Structure 1
Amino acid sequence: MKKKILLVEDEPTIRRLLLFILSKEFDVQAMANGYEAFLYLEKNNIPDLIIMDWVMPQMDGNAFLKCLKVSGLYCEIPVIVLSASKGIVEELDSLPYSISYCLRKPFDPLKLKQTIENIFNTSPYGFVN
């Protein structure tokens, strides 16, 4: 069975590119912002991994990540942040909750796939704390 990935990316071109790159190996569901992603999660759709942009409309990455990490249902899902924002590493380091990995845009698709595999191979459950 394919691992499930929730992709949260507001830029249509990047969203389509990531779907193309990842959908051969993974079951990928794509949402345009954090609000849509939470509606998806609330329908009992629990992914093995979330890949998310940091700067998004309606619910940005910070708000979405905070909601994930303070929830009892979604707090253990590993998260990869993709961002073109300068200072993203420092911003993420200052948060009271952690992510699994951060990749700066533009990113190398092979590096992203390797990062995903590393996360899934870290523990028998696919989770990284």
Structure 2
Amino acid sequence: MKKQILLVEDEPTIQRLLYFLLSKDFDLRIAGNGYEAFLLLEAHRIPDLIIMDWVMPHLDGKSFLKCLKVSGFYCDIPVIVLSASENINEELNGLPYAVDKCLRKPFDPIILKQAIAETFNTNAY
């Protein structure tokens, strides 16, 4: 069975790029913001990884991550943040919970695949 990844990204172009890059190797679910992501989390099995944008409408990355990490159900899901924000590292360092990886947009697809492999502790890529 393929590992499941929840992609939380509001930009359709990046959604399609990530789907193209990852759908061969992973079972993907896609949400356009944090609110949609929680609906998917409740409706499907818990994913093995969440790849999320930081700046999103309705429930932004900071709020989504906080809800995720303080929950009893989803707090152990690894998270990779993708962000174009200039201050993303400062914002993440100021949080009381950590993410597994943070990549700046535009990101290198090879680096993203390596980050996923490291998160899963495999040598798949």
Q: Same fold (TM over 0.5)?
A: yes
Alignment of 1:94-105 (within 5 A): 94-105=94-105
Q: Distance in 1 between matches of 2:47 and 2:84?
A: 24
The 2-side partners of 1:94 and 1:39 are apart by: 27
Question: Is residue 50 of structure 1 aligned with residue 50 of structure 2?
Answer: yes
**Shift of residue 44, structure 1, vs aligned partner:** 4.1
Give unmatched runs, 5+ long, in structure 1: 123-129
RMSD value, Cα: 0.9
Q: 1:96 aligns to what SS in structure 2?
A: coil
Aligned to 1:17: 17
The aligned residue for residue 126 of structure 1 is none
SS at match of 1:35: helix
Counterparts of 1:49 and 1:103, CA distance in 2: 15
**2: CA distance between counterparts of 1:43 and 1:105?**
29
Matched, 1:69 2:64: no
After superposing the two structures, state which structure 1 stretch, 81-90 or 41-50, moved more.
41-50
Q: What CA deviation, in whole Å up to 9, does each residue of 1:57-101 have, x standing for no partner?
A: 000000000000000000000000000000100100000111000
> For residue 81 of structure 2, what is the aligned residue in structure 1?
81
Number of residue pairs aligned between Structure 1 and Structure 2: 122
TM-score calculated relative to the size of structure 1: 0.92
Per-residue CA shift, 1:12-69, capped at 9, x if unaligned? 0000100010001111111100000001111242000000000000000000000000
Counterpart amino acid of residue 113 in structure 2: K
Q: 1:13 is paired with a residue of what secondary structure?
A: helix
Q: Distance in 2 between matches of 1:7 and 1:45?
A: 14
